[in-house]
Amino acid sequence: METIKDGDELLAIIYRNDDWVEGLNFITPNNLFIQAGSWHYNKGKKLASHIHKKHSRVANRTHECVYVKQGSLKVLLFDENKQFKKEFTLCAGDLAVMANGGHGYEILEDNTQILETKNGPFVDVETDKEKF
């Protein structure tokens, strides 16, 4: 697992296909608005049924998580001032959590399949994004 920071500010967390470990492994810190974790168990493992209680949370920005199911994706990372910081490639089985700053994507292969998750609710593009 790799974390990319700009000073003390977390920009992204990269969780590669080879980073999986047995059991429950939370990839993100508890204070991040999006939470991502990996499960790695053997047949027969039972996880307790549960319900998530209603609890008010305040999020002041959208955090995004991308998982590459198939193909590959170039990720460009920027700081809060839209200054380029780093680029990296995600391949099948890799995941990245975009925390702060900006990001851009380039699909590198035909038939690339990406699963994106982010905190909601979604308002609209004008309210949520500043494109540059």
Look at residue 55 and tell me if it is in a domain.
no
> Residue 103: which domain range?
2-41+61-120
Task: Tell me whether residue 15 is in a domain.
Answer: yes
Closest to 31 (Cα-Cα) out of 97, 76, 107: 97
- Report if residue 115 sits inside a domain: yes
User: Along the 132 residues of the chain, how does pLDDT read in single tens digits?
Assistant: 999 999 999 999 999 999 999 999 999 999 898 999 999 999 999 999 999 999 998 888 889 999 999 999 999 999 999 999 999 999 999 999 999 999 999 999 999 999 999 988 777 888 888 899
Position 7 in a domain: yes
Q: What is the DSSP letter of 31?
A: T
The pLDDT score that the predictor gives to residue 123 is 78
pLDDT of residue 126: 86
pTM: 0.88
How many structural domains compose the chain?
1
User: Do the Cβ atoms of 123 and 57 come closer than 8 Å?
Assistant: no
| Backbone dihedral angles phi then psi of residue 128, each to the nearest 5 degrees | -90, -30
Q: Quick one: pLDDT at residue 23?
A: 95
> Would you say residue 48 lies in a domain?
no
* pLDDT of res. 94: 97
Residue 88 lies in a domain: yes
Instruction: With respect to residue 71, please indicate whether it lies within any of the assigned structural domains.
Output: yes
Neighbouring residues of 80: CB distance < 8 A, sequence distance ≥ 6 = 6, 9, 100, 101, 102
Domain with residue 92: its CATH number is 2.60.120
Long-range CB contact pairs, 124-132, < 8 A, 24+: 128/62, 132/82, 132/102
Residue 18, in any domain of the structure: yes
pLDDT at res. 121: 79
